Amino acid sequence: MGNPLRDRCTAAELASDKQVIEIADKISSFEGLASIIEADLAALDPGKIPSGWRSCVVSGELKFGFADAKERVPMVTGSAKVEVGAVCQRCLEPFQLQLCVAPKLLLLEAQQVADGYEDFEVWELDEQQLRPRDLVEELLIMAMPFSAKHENLADCKAFASADPTDDENVEKLVKPFAALRAQMAQNETDPD
């Protein structure tokens, strides 16, 4: 076996071998993830695009096994994390976004049913063989927020002018259409 993260195997083979796969690859080796990040960063001025973002390392571990004693239901658990360049949708500035996943998946073939595994998410396989790298990439893509934003408002330039002790001012920045809603409500109650 060459690189277990990139080799194609059936879920049952990985589970039978109780395969443990260490993840330590650059974002650039996850082509789908890299293209999504690149498209997001393309909205920035070229001088603001974080240098070396393709070299950030995806790290973690996948552990394969069976969820049942009869060894009919392959599963995978583990974790993966990476810090990616992103554009804040509030202030339109670059920032580092932490993506973390902790899969606990049943790897089922089409039409296969497994009852009694409420702690697991069902992952239906399109093909009989899978590449663990593709699984990690898809999980990280699904972990990306639809609208990336600074978690800490103090880091967001959209809130830089706001006095953090003035709750009313911060509330207006968080809800930019609140004034429009109030005006519309006023217009509804005032007959012309």
Domain of 165 in residue numbering reads as 161-189
Mean pLDDT, 10 residues at a time, over the chain (192 residues)? 83 93 95 95 91 94 94 94 93 93 92 83 89 95 92 79 54 59 75 62
pLDDT value of position 168: 57
Give the Cα separation of 60 and 82 in Å (integer). Answer: 9
Give the Cα separation of 121 and 124 in Å (integer). Answer: 10
pLDDT value of position 31: 95
Same domain, 75 and 169: no
Same domain, 90 and 185: no
Same domain, 99 and 80: yes
In a domain, 156, yes or no: no
pLDDT value of position 192: 60
pLDDT value of position 137: 96
Give the Cα separation of 10 and 31 in Å (integer). Answer: 22
In a domain, 2, yes or no: no
pLDDT value of position 66: 95
pLDDT value of position 117: 85
pLDDT value of position 166: 55
- The phi, psi pair for 95, rounded to 5°, reads -155, 170
Give the Cα separation of 41 and 110 in Å (integer). Answer: 37
- Cα angle at 24 between 23 and 30, to 5 degrees? 85
pLDDT value of position 179: 64
Give the DSSP letter of residue 158: G
**pTM for this structure?**
0.79
List, in sequence order, every residue forming a beta bridge with 104; answer none if it has no partner: 77
Domain count, the chain: 2
Same domain, 95 and 167: no
Same domain, 94 and 14: yes
pLDDT value of position 134: 94
Same domain, 127 and 180: no
pLDDT value of position 162: 52
In a domain, 145, yes or no: yes
